């Protein structure tokens, strides 16, 4: 049994020699002057699962009575994250600023190839209610589709038809960068700014979605709709073609645009990630338009350690090692915004760590996602790969 002591003015500590030795061996709390000082999540975990008791002024108090003295946001969610990590035999501690030289995690660098296309001497007829345009010139339409995989030539995955259909993103891109003439079926030539204006009235965050589309397209990536996968785009690396070897290639990445002012339920955000992983695709998150003044000092929850290989064995990492992750503990019904997520990602990156989200559902099960920064050459935007992780 471990005897813990609590004082509202001091906190929670263990002072008996046997308990101190046991906690130090398993890297609980902070050892100072012969005592181990515990954070509330550790104390609650020890009470619930490690046969520990807590005393206040000599009287034993229960789990919820101790918790009531810590009216902090998401206390039970943080406790649950701590409990799950500890149950796996891994070490976790409250977040602290790391001292000394901070190693930088290597970025994932994506290959790029500048988009090359001469000026287009062709018209596209714009259908404002449908946010689509049509090019009737079969030769130009086929070349755009087969050489650059822009638009849909004929019928999807069917070798028939001669019209090239462009969505609003493709229409804006070609008009802005390659002089495509856009003519409304209602009459009159319209600019790429006017096309974007039409889209912005009908589709939320159309401008941010276009900015991300343009960012990848100008670097040679093929960017197509990700509707079937619950995301904005599916991404193909430079060189992909819809007619390569006579068959459609499969994308390996999907990209979701998360505007900085938008807020999503964690459950909705996680659902899109799960759909991507279910079809063996990497999920990419884009947070456009972040500026230095947008970043906030969002409190982090934990530093988390995993396991390392020593010889032929895997052993747990400890505070004597460098932590791997900055962990944020969230609940499935919680809202998260683009600014909050980008700020946590920056804090993790500045600490030389990866960000891990610990998502607690209503049945106290935990799902973990690791976010890794992606380097898109010469891009001003923030992109991250998100992967499901089992500790």
d(CA 73, CA 18): 33
| Residue 105 predicted with pLDDT over 80 | no
Burial class (CB in 10 A: 0-12, 13-18, 19+), 126: buried
256 classed as catalytic: no
236 classed as catalytic: yes
What's the average model confidence in pLDDT over 358-365? 94
What's the average model confidence in pLDDT over 175-198? 94
Q: Do 2-71 and 115-218 fold alike per CATH?
A: yes
d(CA 14, CA 4): 5
What's the average model confidence in pLDDT over 101-112? 67
pLDDT for 251-277, tens place per residue? 889 999 998 888 888 888 888 888 888
**pLDDT at res. 203:** 92
**pLDDT at res. 247:** 40
| Residue 104 predicted with pLDDT over 70 | no
In contact, 357 and 326? CB cutoff 8 Å: no
Q: Which of 236, 325, 368, 383 is catalytic?
A: 236
Provide CB contacts within 8 A for 141, sequence distance 6+.
135, 151, 153, 162, 163, 164
Through-space distance between the first and last CA atoms of the chain, rounded to whole angstroms? 28
Residue with tokens 């229960």: 62
What secondary structure, in 3-state letters, does 269-281 show?
Answer: HHHHHHHHHHCCC
Helix (H, G, I), strand (E, B) or coil at 231: coil
Q: What is the CATH number of domain 72-107+222-391?
A: 3.40.1350.10
Structural domain spans, the chain: 2-71, 72-107+222-391, 115-218
Give which of 236, 234, 231, 124 is closest to 176, Cα–Cα.
124
27 classed as catalytic: no
What's the average model confidence in pLDDT over 179-186? 93
Helix axes 206-217, 192-202, angle to 10 degrees: 130
Look over the chain and give the mean of its residue pLDDT values, rounded to a whole number.
91
Q: What is the CATH number of domain 2-71?
A: 3.40.1170.20
Q: pTM value?
A: 0.86
**pLDDT at res. 245:** 54
**pLDDT at res. 261:** 87
Q: Which of 232, 256, 281, 373 is catalytic?
A: 281
Provide CB contacts within 8 A for 12, sequence distance 6+.
4, 5, 6, 37, 38, 39, 40, 43, 54, 66
- State how far the alpha carbon of 141 is from the alpha carbons of 55, 123, 151, 159, in Å: 77, 11, 8, 14
- State how far the alpha carbon of 65 is from the alpha carbons of 61, 79, 255, in Å: 6, 15, 45
pLDDT for 58-95, tens place per residue? 999 999 999 999 988 899 999 999 999 999 999 999 99
| Residue 106 predicted with pLDDT over 70 | no
**pLDDT at res. 381:** 86
What residues are paired with 155 via a beta bridge?
158
> Hey, which bits of 92-251 come out as E strands?
92-94, 108-109, 123-127, 132-135, 152-153, 164-167, 181-184, 189-190, 222-225, 233-236
Q: What is the CATH number of domain 115-218?
A: 3.40.1170.20
**pLDDT at res. 268:** 84
In contact, 34 and 15? CB cutoff 8 Å: yes
Q: Which of 244, 250, 308, 375 is catalytic?
A: 250
């Amino acid at each position: 049994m471990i005897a813990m002591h609590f004082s509202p003015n001091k906190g929670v500590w263990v002072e008996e020699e046997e308990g101190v030795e046991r906690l130090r061996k398993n890297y609980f709390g902070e050892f100072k002057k012969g005592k181990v000082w515990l954070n509330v999540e550790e104390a609650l975990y020890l009470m619930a699962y490690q046969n520990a008791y807590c005393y206040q002024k000599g009287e034993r108090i229960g789990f919820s009575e101790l918790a009531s003295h810590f009216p902090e946001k998401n206390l039970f969610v943080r406790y649950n994250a701590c409990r799950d990590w500890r149950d796996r035999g891994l070490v976790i501690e409250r977040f602290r600023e790391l001292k000394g030289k901070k190693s930088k995690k290597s970025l994932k660098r994506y290959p790029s190839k500048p988009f090359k296309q001469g000026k287009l001497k062709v018209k596209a007829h714009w259908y404002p209610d449908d946010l689509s345009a049509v090019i009737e010139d079969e030769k130009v339409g086929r070349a755009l589709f087969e050489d650059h995989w822009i638009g849909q030539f004929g019928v999807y995955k069917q070798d028939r038809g001669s019209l090239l259909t462009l969505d609003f993103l493709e229409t804006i891109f070609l008009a802005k960068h390659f002089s495509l003439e856009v003519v409304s079926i209602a009459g009159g030539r319209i600019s790429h700014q006017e096309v974007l204006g039409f889209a912005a009235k009908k589709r939320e965050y159309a401008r941010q979605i276009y900015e991300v589309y343009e960012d990848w397209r100008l670097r040679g990536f093929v960017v197509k709709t990700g509707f079937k996968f619950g995301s904005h785009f599916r991404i193909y690396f430079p060189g992909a073609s819809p007619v390569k070897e006579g068959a459609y290639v499969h994308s390996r990445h999907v990209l979701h645009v998360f505007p900085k002012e938008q807020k999503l339920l964690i459950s909705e955000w996680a659902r899109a990630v799960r759909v991507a992983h279910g079809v063996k695709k990497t999920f990419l998150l884009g947070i456009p338009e972040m500026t230095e003044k947008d970043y906030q000092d969002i409190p982090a929850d934990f530093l988390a350690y995993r396991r390392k290989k020593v010889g032929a064995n895997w052993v747990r990492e400890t505070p004597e090692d460098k932590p791997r992750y900055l962990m944020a503990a969230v609940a499935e019904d919680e809202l998260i915004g683009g600014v909050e997520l980008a700020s946590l990602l920056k804090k993790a990156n500045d600490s030389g760590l990866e960000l891990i989200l610990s998502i607690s559902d209503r049945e106290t099960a935990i799902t973990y996602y690791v976010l890794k920064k992606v380097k898109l050459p010469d891009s001003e935007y923030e992109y991250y790969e998100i992967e499901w992780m089992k500790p």
